[in-house]
Structure 1
């Protein structure tokens, strides 16, 4: 485990540089980003390729949805396998299966096979996609000391924002009209390469904690994990509804192209806020920070309902992003403290799946409200999702403050490599 002895290493923007200078940290951060870049690329690449080959955007949407849903369902179970048998084994196995699934998907699309064949291939692809974001956070928990963990999670959040800023642009560049399969092929290469390198990064491999009965306690059995899952679902709903409100706002003013600009501004606000949040050595409990950030997240969505011009909406979009990374960082740090030590891969996978489910629900509800009413209705729906996260984090304070279950505090550790 990397140890930071100097007190100054826990605060300031220099904390990121000090973290990355630690032996192996830069390698882990870079290849972890490579491995999860496809998160922001697969759906768009799938939509672009299928619509280009078949001419049906509807079929493309069905196939992309099948891939996303199967990934969300399978991720916690893959995380559980990683906790029991090591991340290394799961990453190496799933990246091979993912390459096969992607090859089947590309073949089915290229040969214009029936819709059910493309869906079947998409299910294989999704079921072999681990929650790379969750796996990386579990690795940082094993790689750095407690004082540097906040900085590591803040850096992960910043990298996530960067990925969602650049990923759609990258897949668009790699999927020209002459070769629309380029985006999905790049996704497969990035996933396999990132998975292999991270899997072989032995110094960050999480240790397995053994319970007296012989296997780690399940993360899903811990009340604190349930509280964070519900809070993340509420946050995800806000993210999805707010994204729709940005797109609807641009369409209402006959400038649909500016919807992407507004979404990028949200990501910029989140990125800058995450950078600042991670540089501060907070002296208040993480459970209290979750409440504060959830409150700011909710309040920042409200001005979106009143914006009437692009400059005003652009400002509000940046404002709406300022609490995103801090809220997710607080949630990640809390999860590390409440989940069983040997079940972090599973725990983070559950959190990401609930967040993804919330985003999908927010997009669906926000899209309906935006179509039947205005972009303001979608923004109000987002605020409701944030309110759910706030209420859950408030009600769950007693559970979140308890910390890790007693049975998992001093477990007998077994090296995951064995």
Structure 2
């Protein structure tokens, strides 16, 4: 919004935003790995200060109408210093709560994420319209910095870090179950990106582009409600099977979007399309906690976030292209395709998703409490 307001170019604005998002996706797993080895506190405190500097450079560069290459460089610095905050928080939940409460904790985290997705754009839009687009960017920098410091100082929830020397934990990316989850998350992200485009294209076709925001908000409402229910139910099925079920529902929920005939119908279908979002993410988060090496949770969750973001970017691009060529129904079909890919991967990877992480003691010390037998890990997965 700020770039387009100052330069008058939506193309430049999209380029700068893409540079920030891509660099964040690339850097997030690296920062997660550093948090696992050095501690989240050190990474959060260092990264939030560097991120504030990057945001300041970006803001000044935009306001001074610097060349596009300068804006891109500032955006890359900002993105590379932006930690995957949800990933860090999920790793903290795993360290702070008992295993039988972990599913509920992840449900709460998903509901808070959906609330942020609802309120964040509203706050930014209000600040940009009532004050100045720069005020919204300043608010983002302040909230990110203060939030990072507050979490960094909460030592009781901080996961134990592994030393950089000795036989540390395996890389999360080296675990087959983590790679299956990453691929499934990319498919789910592809669906979500295409669903967003579907609703925007439908609103445009109805000559009511303002309704696009309403449809997207209703999707978040459906996800919020379903997340609350999912977190409250004591599921007896394994999380690997629940992931397949929820991804199946996610794909099915996108099918009716192609047949919407009015704005009221699309509003109802938007809620339906959002119902399986939070449950799918909760099942995936719980599975990651059970399959990833216990000293690599921050890295593992960061990989999932990056895979999902990549899927959203691809789904938005492909869905947008097809919507321009054929309309919202084609974008909805693309969304269903992404959901089917996620479903196929979750079904084909059931054996990998049920494998417990291999225990690897550090520097000759005794294995921690988390290095339970596979049977215990399976029981924990069922409890979650």
Q: Report TM bin, short chain.
A: over 0.9
Q: Is 1:361 matched up with 2:361?
A: no
Q: Is 1:116 matched up with 2:69?
A: yes
Q: 2:177·2:292 contact (CA, 8 Å) conserved in 1?
A: yes
Residue in 1 that maps onto 2:87? 134
Residue in 2 that maps onto 1:268? 221
SS at match of 1:142: helix
Q: 1:210·1:412 contact (CA, 8 Å) conserved in 2?
A: no
Q: How high is the TM-score relative to the length of structure 2?
A: 0.93
Q: CA deviation at 1:209?
A: 4.5
SS at match of 1:112: coil
Which whole-Å deviations, capped at 9, do the CAs of 1:366-392 have from their partners, x for residues lacking one? 000100001010001000000000000
CA distance in 1, matches of 2:99, 2:289: 10
Q: 2:206·2:263 contact (CA, 8 Å) conserved in 1?
A: no
SS at match of 1:175: helix
Q: Is 1:319 matched up with 2:275?
A: no
CA distance in 1, matches of 2:46, 2:131: 33
Q: CA deviation at 1:405?
A: 2.4
Which whole-Å deviations, capped at 9, do the CAs of 1:169-200 have from their partners, x for residues lacking one? 00011112652200100010001000001001
Matches within 5 A, 1:2-41: none
Q: Is 1:101 matched up with 2:101?
A: no
CA distance in 2, matches of 1:344, 1:81: 11
Which whole-Å deviations, capped at 9, do the CAs of 1:129-178 have from their partners, x for residues lacking one? 00001000000000001011000000000001001111110001111265
SS at match of 1:152: helix
Q: CA deviation at 1:208?
A: 2.5
Residue in 1 that maps onto 2:124? 171
Is there any run of 5+ residues in structure 2 with no aligned partner, and where? 370-384
CA distance in 1, matches of 2:251, 2:10: 34
CA distance in 1, matches of 2:92, 2:103: 13
Which whole-Å deviations, capped at 9, do the CAs of 1:187-219 have from their partners, x for residues lacking one? 100010000010010000101246994322110
Q: CA deviation at 1:408?
A: 7.0
> Which region of structure 1 is more displaced relative to structure 2, 120-129 or 171-180?
171-180
Q: 2:3·2:12 contact (CA, 8 Å) conserved in 1?
A: yes
CA distance in 1, matches of 2:204, 2:178: 39
Q: Is 1:92 matched up with 2:39?
A: no
1:269 and 1:411, CA in 2 relative to 1: closer, same or farther beyond 3 A? farther
Q: Is 1:221 matched up with 2:139?
A: no
Q: Is 1:81 matched up with 2:34?
A: yes
Match of 2:22 among 52, 69, 77: 69
Match of 2:107 among 154, 167, 178: 154
SS at match of 2:129: coil
Q: 1:209·1:413 contact (CA, 8 Å) conserved in 2?
A: no
- Aligned-CA RMSD value: 1.6
Q: CA deviation at 1:54?
A: 1.1
Which whole-Å deviations, capped at 9, do the CAs of 1:221-249 have from their partners, x for residues lacking one? 00000000000000000000000000000
Which whole-Å deviations, capped at 9, do the CAs of 1:14-53 have from their partners, x for residues lacking one? xxxxxxxxxxxxxxxxxxxxxxxxxxxxxxxxxx111111
Q: Is 1:398 matched up with 2:351?
A: yes
Q: 1:305·1:375 contact (CA, 8 Å) conserved in 2?
A: yes
> Which region of structure 1 is more displaced relative to structure 2, 103-112 or 48-57?
48-57
Which whole-Å deviations, capped at 9, do the CAs of 1:293-332 have from their partners, x for residues lacking one? 0111111110001111111111111000000000000000
Residue in 1 that maps onto 2:291? 338
Match of 2:3 among 50, 74, 93: 50
Q: Is 1:247 matched up with 2:200?
A: yes
CA distance in 2, matches of 1:212, 1:251: 57
Q: 1:209·1:411 contact (CA, 8 Å) conserved in 2?
A: no
Q: Is 1:378 matched up with 2:317?
A: no
Residue in 2 that maps onto 1:190? 143
Q: 1:211·1:217 contact (CA, 8 Å) conserved in 2?
A: no
Paired residues, number: 367
CA distance in 1, matches of 2:157, 2:164: 22
Q: 1:340·1:404 contact (CA, 8 Å) conserved in 2?
A: yes
Q: How high is the TM-score relative to the length of structure 1?
A: 0.86
CA distance in 2, matches of 1:212, 1:76: 20
